Amino acid sequence: MERGHAAAEERFGHLDILVNNAGVVRVAPVVDESDDGWHATMAVNSTGVFYGVRAAIPALRRNGGGSIINIASIYGPVGAPGYIAYTASKGAVIAMTKVAALEHAHHGIRVNAICPGPVRTSMSEQEGDTSVDITPLRRRAEPEEISSAVAFLAR
C-alpha cells in the first residue's frame, strides 16, 4: 500500500483520494462458515481497508487534506442471514471509517463509507436475485449509481 501511495505522490505530486473498493462475498451461515472462509473474507474486506487507510493518511496529511471513501455494504449495519463473514467484515469497515474520520478531520481528511445494497456486478450475480428482497426498489443498483456517490464524496 505504501508503495502505491508513494508512486502516486511521485507521479502526480500528491495524493488526494483513496477509494477502498475491493471485496469478496461468502455465503455461509454461522455454523457452516469455515476458518479459511472467515479469514479470507476478513483479509480482503476489512484488513485491506485498514492497510489502505493507514497508508494513505500520511500522504493526505502532506497534501493538506483529501478524501477516503470506503465501500461497505448495507449488510454491515443491518446484517443478513447466511452472510456471517461478509456482514462482519463490512461492519468493521463502517467502524474503521468512523474512527479514521474522527481522528483525522482536523487534518482536512474526510473519511466516508458508502453502504449500498446489492449492486449488479459479476461477483454479486453469483448470489441470485434473492438479495434484492431487502431493497425498496427490488432491484440491484447499477455500478454507475455507486460511482456517482464516490465522485460526489471525492470532491
Residues tagged active-site: 86
The total of other beta-carbon atoms located within 10 Å of residue 32's CB is 10
Residue holding cell 456482514?
87
Report the distance separating Cα 63 and Cα 56, nearest Å.
Answer: 11
Q: Are 132 and 83 in contact (CB under 8 A)?
A: no
Q: Are 95 and 76 in contact (CB under 8 A)?
A: no
Return the closest-CA partner of residue 116 out of 57, 73, 150: 73
Single-letter amino acid code for the residue at 114: I
